[in-house]
């Protein structure tokens, strides 16, 4: 299948042509939603950061999302008194060649006037974006992330190892593949470290996983929800084992942090646990925070495995949902793209399911909407975090 992407002026190539309405504090969220609502079918989506206090991680994630390859234009909506540096964000978006406009609610004269101005800008921008240049793209142009959510004991037997095989094929075909959930690798550390391309990268990964284990221990709570236990997962080690299998068997080319875009093809681990002493609470308050961070690191699409049955999608990049549990699939098939649970109930192999996932990636990259896109899902959340930049050993050339 020939794939046609959207070429941006900065050279990046997307698989969707999204216009973002981005609020810079929760106080501008409602106005942003009002602006965007009538244009949902035209590819207008709402993202934003709710906090009034500054945070470098949140700024980085917002900048990366507003200049993401799937994004063609951005309307920034500010209340006016929050601390987000809106001028810098607008400048960075402009430098990427994307149309950008900033509306400050306090200067526009309130809700109704801002909504009117915002919608007028959207109308002219939607027609401009229709002319975005289309270019041929291949698997080697794709960045694919993976996450599991609402895991149960079938996740680690069906959907996760199937995604692992898909990841192996993506890496073999020169794509960039990113896995994360460093809080769900407890008990798997030796195996992960041994897969690093260099010894120094292995040590960086070891430190990153030690940091995650320590962080979660201080929080007094593993990355574990009651539904995981209902679904047959007894311990965080057992959940980790299943989660880790999504990464497949390729060598690991690098360790990145949210918002770092991998420089070349290969498999990357994203460190989602903040550096330093715990300051802002749990590292990832829900699945969508991790999805948002994966997308900030350039993911064009996300492979989301679920056993209990999650319904979420995401803003900016499509989410392909792979259901691990055959009972859940029967109950919630309207929310699932791939049924991996058939591995348990029939003679379908993991390899066959992984091919199905791979084909779904190509289909989604060609423009066919995923189930969560069709249903209109655009979940999104950014939290407060603190990160140091990655060290020189984290990326293997």
Partner 1 sequence: MGSFKKLIRLSENDNVLVVCCNIEPGEELQLENVRYVINEFVALGHKIALKDIAMGEPILKFNVVIGSAVRDIKKGQHVHVHNIKSDFIPTYTIDNQKS
Which positions lie near partner 1, rule CB under 8 A? 152-154, 156-157, 186-188, 213, 216-217, 220-222, 224-226, 229-232, 234-238, 241, 307, 325-327, 344-346
Smallest distance from the beta carbon of 336 to partner 1, in angstroms? 17
Smallest distance from the beta carbon of 302 to partner 1, in angstroms? 24
Instruction: State which residue, 90 or 225, has the beta carbon closest to partner 1.
Output: 225
Instruction: State which residue, 220 or 389, has the beta carbon closest to partner 1.
Output: 220
Q: What is the DSSP string of 111-125?
A: HHHHHHHHHHHHHHH
Smallest distance from the beta carbon of 69 to partner 1, in angstroms? 37
The Cα 352–Cα 339 span in angstroms is 11
Q: CA geometry: angle at 72 spanning 67 and 77, to 5°?
A: 70
Smallest distance from the beta carbon of 306 to partner 1, in angstroms? 13
Smallest distance from the beta carbon of 70 to partner 1, in angstroms? 35
| CB distance 271 to 383 below 8 Å | no
Instruction: State which residue, 346 or 389, has the beta carbon closest to partner 1.
Output: 346
Instruction: State which residue, 236 or 382, has the beta carbon closest to partner 1.
Output: 236
Q: If you count DSSP H runs as helices and E runs as strands, how many of each does the chain have, helices first?
A: 15, 14
| CB distance 98 to 9 below 8 Å | yes
Instruction: State which residue, 170 or 236, has the beta carbon closest to partner 1.
Output: 236
The DSSP call for residue 375 is: T
Instruction: State which residue, 204 or 238, has the beta carbon closest to partner 1.
Output: 238
Q: At what angle do helices 86-95 and 56-66 cross, to 10 degrees?
A: 30
* Dihedral sign for Cα atoms in the order 198, 204, 207, 209: negative
Smallest distance from the beta carbon of 309 to partner 1, in angstroms? 13
Show Cβ contacts of residue 62 under 8 Å, excluding neighbours closer than 6 positions: 22, 24, 47, 48, 49, 84, 89, 382
The Cα 89–Cα 105 span in angstroms is 17
């Amino acid at each position: 299948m020939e794939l046609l992407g959207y070429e941006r002026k900065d050279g990046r190539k997307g698989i969707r042509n999204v216009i973002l309405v981005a609020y810079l504090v929760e106080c501008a969220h409602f106005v942003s939603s009002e602006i965007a609502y009538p244009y949902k079918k035209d590819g207008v989506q709402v993202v934003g950061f709710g906090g009034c206090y500054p945070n470098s991680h949140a700024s980085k994630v917002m900048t990366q999302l507003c200049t993401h390859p799937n994004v063609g234009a951005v309307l920034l909506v500010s209340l006016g008194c929050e601390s987000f540096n809106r001028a810098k964000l607008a400048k960075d978006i402009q430098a990427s060649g994307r149309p950008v406009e900033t509306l400050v609610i306090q200067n526009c004269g309130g809700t109704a006037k801002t909504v009117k101005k915002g919608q007028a800008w959207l109308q002219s921008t939607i027609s401009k974006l229709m002319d975005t240049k289309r270019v041929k793209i291949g698997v080697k142009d794709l960045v694919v992330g993976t996450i599991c959510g609402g895991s149960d004991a079938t996740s680690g037997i069906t959907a996760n190892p199937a995604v692992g095989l898909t990841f192996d094929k993506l890496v073999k075909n020169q794509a960039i593949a990113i896995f994360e959930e460093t809080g769900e690798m407890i008990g798997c550390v030796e195996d992960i470290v041994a897969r690093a391309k260099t010894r120094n990268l292995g040590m960086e990964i070891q430190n990153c996983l030690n940091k995650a284990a320590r962080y979660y221990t201080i929080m007094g709570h593993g990355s574990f929800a009651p539904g995981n236990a209902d679904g047959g997962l007894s311990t965080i080690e057992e959940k980790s084992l299943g989660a880790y299998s999504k990464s497949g068997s390729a060598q690991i080319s690098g360790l990145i942090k949210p918002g770092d875009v991998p420089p070349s093809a290969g498999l990357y681990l994203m460190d989602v646990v903040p550096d330093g002493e715990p300051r802002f609470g749990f590292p990832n308050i829900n699945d969508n925070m991790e999805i948002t961070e994966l997308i900030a690191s350039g993911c064009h699409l996300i492979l989301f495995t679920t056993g209990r049955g999650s319904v979420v999608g995401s803003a900016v990049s499509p989410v392909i949902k792979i259901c691990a549990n055959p009972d859940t699939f029967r109950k919630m098939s309207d929310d699932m793209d791939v049924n991996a649970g058939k591995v348990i109930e029939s003679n379908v192999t993991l390899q066959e399911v992984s091919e199905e996932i791979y084909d779904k990636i190509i289909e989604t990259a060609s423009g066919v909407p995923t189930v969560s896109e069709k249903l209109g899902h655009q979940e999104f959340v950014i939290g407060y975090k603190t990160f140091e930049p990655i060290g020189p050993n984290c990326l293997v050339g």
